[in-house]
A = this chain, B = another copy of it.
Amino acid sequence: MARDKAETKARILTAVGKLLAESGFKSLGVNAIAREAGVDKVLIYRYFEGLPTLLQQFAQAGDYWLSMEALVGDESTIEAETLADWMTYLLLEFMGDLQERSITQEILRWELLEGNELTDELAQVRDQLALDSLKFLKGKGEFPVDQDVPAISAVLIAGVVYLTLRAKIHNTFMGIDFSAPQGWQRIETALASIIQSTMQ
C-alpha cells in the first residue's frame, strides 16, 4: 500500500459510500469499511477518530439532493404556468431524482431508525430545500388562503419517500405493482391530480 495519508482517507470515505449504496447501513461497521477500502481498520481510528466522526465527514462531502438550481435550471424550458403546475413539477422531479439516489435512500431508511451525524445533515439540507421550494412557489402564484401548503407538501413528500423506500423491498403496496412503470405512473398521475385539485 502506497504511503499516502490523503489517498487512504479518500479510500475510506469512498468505501463508506459504496457500502451504503450496495449493502445498506446495517453492514456499515468499522470492520466492513476497512475491508472494503482495503485498509487496516486502525487507520479509521487514527484518521477519523471513529465511526461518528467518519460519518460526519462523509456527510459534509455528500451531495444528497437536487439543488434548487438543478431543479428549476432554466425556467423558460419548463412548461408550467400555474402554481399547481409548478408544484407538480417540483414534486415529480424530486421523486424521479430520489429514485436514482441509492445513498440518499439508504440514509432516509436509517433516519427512520435512529438519528446520527449523517441523517441529521441530510434532514437539515432537505428542510432547507423544502423551504427554498416553498419560497420559489410563492413567486409563482398566490397560495390558496384556506390551505396549509407546507402541511400538504409534507404529506405528499412523506408519501413519495415512503413509497420509494418501500418499493426497493416489496413489489406491491395497496395492490399497486411498483415493479412495473405503470405502477409509478399511477402514483405520478395521482400526485398531479391531488395538487391540481387542492391548490386552486
Please list the residues of chain A having a beta carbon within 8 angstroms of any beta carbon in chain B: 24, 26, 109, 111-115, 123, 126-127, 130-131, 146-148, 150-163, 165-166, 169-170, 172-176, 186-187, 189-191, 193-194, 197-198, 200
Q: Do B155 and A191 touch across chains, with their CB atoms under 8 A apart? A: yes
Interface pair A155/B166, CB less than 8 Å apart = no
CA–CA, A16 and B89, complex, Å: 45
**Quick one: closest B residue to A112, CB to CB?**
B165
Residues of B within 8 A of A166 (CB): 111-112, 158
- Chain B CB count within 10 A is highest, among A113, A151, A160, for A151
Neighbour of A151 across the interface among B130, B190, B197, CB < 8 A: B190
* Chain B residues within an 8 Å CB radius of A24: 113
Contact B170 A123 (CB under 8 A): yes
Alpha-carbon distance between A154 and B191 when the two chains are bound, in angstroms: 10
B148–A154 contact, CB under 8 A?
no
